[in-house]
Amino acid sequence: MLYDLFRVKELFQNKHLILGEGSNILFSGDYDGTVVRIMLKGIEVTGKKDGYVFIRVNAGEIWDHLVSFCVSQGWGGLENLSLIPGQVGSSPIQNIGAYGVELETLFVSLEAFDKLKGESVVFRHKDCQFGYRNSVFKGRSGGRYVITSVTLRLKEDPELNTSYGSVAEELKNMGISSPGIKDVREAVCRIRRSKLPDPEDLGNAGSFFKNPVVPLRKYNDLKSKHPDLVAYGAGNGMKLAAGWLIDKAGWKGYRHNDAGVHEKQALVLVNHGKASGKEILDLAGRIKDSVSRRFGVSLEPEVNII
């Protein structure tokens, strides 16, 4: 059992890394410690109320397998998050999101092992301090907890979200005028496959940078200089498309040795074969500096760097 494992004194006191699928991690060098991979499986319906179904999912489930299962059951909410790599246990850490939906809108609670106290604890929504690609688990206290399961709330009578990005356009291209959640999932999968490389074919960790959020004043200034700027509303500010910024700075398709930028999506850094983690990290730093000089916008990594 995982709880028994973390009661082993030697592991607790020494350097260790909790790993899911590793799809959102860049190793800048060799890891000098013990790596523990989470493999807890299982999906359980814990209740139904007011048109919602509540499911408890163990941390080792593959995220897209969960999405596929829920769509097949007719439960709405996760379809826009199709094909996001990784395991369920990582989803609250990153507050994963895509095409107008973020995990926190579906999140109820999670169970985690507190390595400091040696016991199981429960985090409700407010405890997680969710933000854009952020949560309490990415802060200083994040390494204290190992997420073991996540409870989500889905709709038995789904309400579709097709207004973000190119989902509606893709549905139109598919010849679908009255879509269901299976259609939305298929549209999202088609979009992602057309833009993002398969990690099994071309090494990558997905979107390398977060989409930066800037005040309206900064957005208006950029928009006046760059009318084709891609952005979306984000509270009192605007979320800029980091891929657009990187593309306009001239990096799309760039390659130096085996470290490069994907030719179809500038937000994705790729390893063409033998690039080291340090080479990928150096490239990311050069891109960040370039975007800052041209647009006065600071990019932050979405990938966890170890």
Enumerate the domain spans of the chain: 2-37, 43-155, 203-305
pTM of the model: 0.80
Known catalytic membership, residue 207 = yes
Please identify which of the residues 82, 109, 149, 207 carries the catalytic annotation. Answer: 207
Please identify which of the residues 61, 79, 186, 302 carries the catalytic annotation. Answer: 302
Q: Supply the pLDDT for residue 2.
A: 60
Q: Supply the pLDDT for residue 1.
A: 59
Q: Supply the pLDDT for residue 271.
A: 95
Please identify which of the residues 56, 133, 153, 190 carries the catalytic annotation. Answer: 133
Q: Supply the pLDDT for residue 222.
A: 97
> 111 has which bridge partners?
122, 149
**Is CATH 4.10.640.10 the classification given to domain 203-305?**
no
Known catalytic membership, residue 61 = no
Known catalytic membership, residue 294 = no
Q: pLDDT tens string for the chain (306 positions)?
A: 566 776 676 676 778 888 888 888 899 888 888 888 899 999 999 999 999 999 999 999 999 999 999 999 999 999 999 999 899 999 999 899 999 899 999 999 999 999 888 889 999 999 999 998 889 998 767 788 999 999 999 999 999 999 877 899 999 999 999 999 999 999 999 998 888 888 878 888 888 999 999 999 999 999 999 999 999 888 789 999 999 999 999 999 999 999 999 999 999 999 999 999 999 999 999 999 999 999 999 999 988 898
**Is CATH 3.30.465.10 the classification given to domain 43-155?**
yes
